[in-house]
Amino acid sequence: MTLPQQRPQGSPGPLDILRKTYGYDSFRGPQAEIIDHVIAGKNAFVLMPTGGGKSLCYQIPSLVRDGVGIIISPLIALMQDQVEALKQLGIRAAALNSAMPPDQQRQTERMLVEGEIDMVYVAPERLLMDDFQRLIDNAQIALFAIDEAHCMSQWGHDFRPHYAQLSQLAERFPNIPRIALTATADAPTRRDIVNFLQLQDGGSFVSGFDRPNIHYTIAVKDSAKQQILAFIKNNHAKDSGIVYCLSRQSVDDTAAWLCEEGFKALPYHAGLSADVRAKNQQKFLREEKIIMVATIAFGMGIDKPDVRFVAHMNIPKNIEAYYQETGRAGRDGLPANAFMVYGLNDSAMQRNFIEQSNAPDQQKRIEHQKLNALLGLCEAAHCRRQVILEYFGDKAKPCGNCDTCMSPPETFDGTVAAQKALSCVYRTGQRFGVSYVIDVLLGKADERMKKFGHDQITTFNIGGEYSKSEWQGIFRQLVALNLLAVDVAEHGGLFITPAGQAFLKEKMPVKLRKQETRKEARKALMKKEAEDFYGQEMNQPLFDALREARMVLAKEQNVPPYVIFHDKTLREMAVFKPTSRSALMEISGMGERKMDRYGQIFLDVIRKHG
Ligand code: ADP
Ligand code: ZN
């Protein structure tokens, strides 16, 4: 049904569309190449970090190619906002899903067949229905875009059975280009996507994973709540952000507590009713300065561009999850923060989850290794970004935009300390937790210790050169280095790993990071100001006034503010203060349609406050 297509002479090409419709100057990274490839009718696999600009890779080909682009997206609740964002640009887009009134569905179906729309967003369930497939047979289809394609794979963390069935597309519509997009990196997931969608002959476009605008900080946990509070107060008092917690209970507690502290915080977890979740999500998207406190149930498909921070009260299960979650910050490219607090209990908890899962042993071993890599990131004495990117197979230089780059931790020769720690674990029988072993090292005998005779062993009272908290830091690092491990089945007893045994035998040297003091941990906060982002001062009152004008428009139309303009667009206005239509047109994100609708309103605000 689809023929190779050629753009008719004189009709706009990708770059014209980018500039006139979207108001952007130039393509980013591999966008141009991917777009040309898909316009030529070829299949593609696109792996790009969150915020990398995946949407344009299927939107522009949908506009250039004849027919309608069918976008498969897992989240019905978010489709309407995606469609709304396109409509604001003057693009004819619609959604088709079971949440819509039947007559509206029929109208969209009619427009699809008549070729009156450019793009339609559908859930996979819909796409697989016979009725819908017959409908497509009668329509001209520009392409299929499979967004969040990792949902196809059982290896991915968001497996959806309907997504797996999308493998039918290749057989049923062999001549329509398929473009699969994801930000999830791991190899088995990638392999599944390529196999299921038969993309072997298509192009594979894998971008670097770096998110240079995100600043990473990982602090040693002393009081998670106070640390998170200080972080938000010092850096993000007026911003939207996400705080991730491990349990529903701690989500509820933390949200309530942040509200007491004067923030607008909302809870989100699977234990809340669907209604409450939808309402809280909607608020997060529609209003400003909301903090979403959530379990990992929250976040997929949220393309709110101005999430300024993501904070973790506990470590997630691996680096992939950490990167995915922190990646929800700063999609607009403006500076954003990822802040995590971490302690030894966290790793014990994650080990427990792995052990208690129903996964086969082989899988559990992999999960443990992935957790080890995350602990390595937490204890890294060099650039965090380097550790992350190297984990994904990318080479990187020290970034200058993470806590360890900005204030490099001091290291010391920890060989003797490690030897003492390991032999004390050994001599106490490899079944006691960290506190007990430290007490032995520090010679703090109590009744229990005397009963076991541990006040008589050779490692009793040999650790006086370090304080209790310094020893805690040492033990945490020895666990992260996998010389010691916590036996989760045995009440958190420490034992020596094979690597630890080798270390003792071969007397290898080991470098450890000095313990940060509490004060330093608090100070290790950062924000590259938006001002130096543009190399110019931003007029804050003007920015606030522009935000207000945007909120009025958003409320009138019942859409999220960022659908009208991104923060980035408003910030540029507040820096460059354009006063003519042609100057305003130069601002990033100002397309022709938005100029027509809103140009005058924002020019007036700039004249009044600028
Ligand atoms: P992804 O789906 O990969 O997470 P999006 O497609 O949502 O990313 O794009 C992230 C942000 O970057 C969006 O706000 C988008 O409008 C913007 N963007 C994408 N491509 C460009 C570009 N070439 N120039 C400027 N901004 C862009
Ligand atoms: Zn760095």
As separate numbers, helices (DSSP H) first and strands (DSSP E) second, the chain gives 30, 17
Is the pLDDT confidence value at 260 over 70?
Answer: yes
Give the residues surrounding ligand 1 with Cβ less than 6 Å away: 24, 27-28, 31, 48, 50-56, 303, 305, 331-332, 566
Q: What is the pLDDT of residues 78-93, one digit of tens each?
A: 888 899 999 999 999 9
Is the pLDDT confidence value at 527 over 70?
Answer: no
CA atoms of 225 and 56, how far apart (whole Å) = 39
Is the pLDDT confidence value at 7 over 80?
Answer: no
Ligand 1, closest atom to CA 31?
Answer: 23
Mutate to test the pocket of ligand 1, among 16, 19, 22 (most ligand atoms within 8 A of CB): 22
**Cα 220 to ligand 2 centroid, rounded to whole Å:** 17
Mutate to test the pocket of ligand 1, among 19, 31, 55 (most ligand atoms within 8 A of CB): 55
29 CB contacts (<8 Å, ≥6 apart)? Answer: 48, 52, 53, 207, 208
Q: What is the pLDDT of residues 431-450, one digit of tens each?
A: 998 999 999 999 999 999 99
| DSSP string for 199-258 | -TTSEEEE-----TTEEEEEEE-S-HHHHHHHHHHHH-TTSEEEEE-SSHHHHHHHHHHH
Instruction: Write down the pLDDT at residue 489.
Output: 64
Q: Which ligand is nearest the CA of 399, by number?
A: 2
**Contact criterion met (CB below 8 Å) for 177 and 143:** yes
Is the pLDDT confidence value at 1 over 50?
Answer: no
Question: Burial, 171: exposed, middle or buried (Cβ in 10 Å; 0-12, 13-18, 19+)?
Answer: exposed
325 CB contacts (<8 Å, ≥6 apart)? Answer: 242, 244, 296, 299, 310, 312, 316
**Cα 518 to ligand 2 centroid, rounded to whole Å:** 21
Q: Which ligand is nearest the CA of 78, by number?
A: 1
Average confidence (pLDDT) over 339-360: 89
Average confidence (pLDDT) over 571-591: 94
Question: Closest residue (by CA) to atom 27 of ligand 1?
Answer: 53
Q: For the chain, give the percent of residues with pLDDT over 90.
A: 65
Question: Closest residue (by CA) to atom 19 of ligand 1?
Answer: 53
Ligand 1, closest atom to CA 49?
Answer: 3
Q: Which ligand is nearest the CA of 55, by number?
A: 1
**Cα 458 to ligand 1 centroid, rounded to whole Å:** 62
User: How many residues belong to the chain?
Assistant: 610
Q: What is the pLDDT of residues 449-464, one digit of tens each?
A: 999 999 999 999 999 9
Tokens of 580: 């003519």
Q: Using the structure block, give the residue that is written with the tokens 């790993």.
A: 497
Q: What is the pLDDT of residues 24-71, one digit of tens each?
A: 999 998 999 999 999 999 999 999 988 889 999 999 999 999 999 999
Average confidence (pLDDT) over 136-163: 88
Ligand 1, closest atom to CA 183?
Answer: 3
**Cα 396 to ligand 2 centroid, rounded to whole Å:** 10
Q: Where are the beta strands (DSSP E) in 255-345?
A: 264-268, 290-294, 307-312, 336-342
**Cα 387 to ligand 2 centroid, rounded to whole Å:** 9
Q: For the chain, give the percent of residues with pLDDT over 70.
A: 94
Tokens of 234: 């010092």
Average pLDDT, the chain: 89
CA atoms of 503 and 485, how far apart (whole Å) = 14
**Cα 229 to ligand 1 centroid, rounded to whole Å:** 30
Task: Report how far apart the first and last C-alpha atoms of the chain are (Å, whole number).
Answer: 55
Instruction: Write down the pLDDT at residue 520.
Output: 41
Mutate to test the pocket of ligand 1, among 18, 21, 24 (most ligand atoms within 8 A of CB): 24
Query: Would you call 553 helix, strand, or coil by DSSP?
Result: helix
Ligand 1, closest atom to CA 50?
Answer: 4
Instruction: Write down the pLDDT at residue 49.
Output: 86
Is the pLDDT confidence value at 136 over 60?
Answer: yes
**Cα 52 to ligand 1 centroid, rounded to whole Å:** 6
Q: Which ligand is nearest the CA of 25, by number?
A: 1
Q: Which ligand is nearest the CA of 382, by number?
A: 2
Q: Kindly list the structural domains of the chain, giving each domain's residue range(s) and its CATH number in brackets, ordered by start.
A: 14-206 (3.40.50.300), 214-406 (3.40.50.300), 411-515 (1.10.10.10), 530-609 (1.10.150.80)
Helix axes 415-427, 498-506, angle to 10 degrees: 120
Q: What is the pLDDT of residues 206-243, one digit of tens each?
A: 988 899 999 999 998 989 999 999 999 999 998 999 99
Average confidence (pLDDT) over 88-101: 92
Q: Measuring CA to CA, how many Å separate 337 from each of 73, 294, 489? A: 28, 17, 36
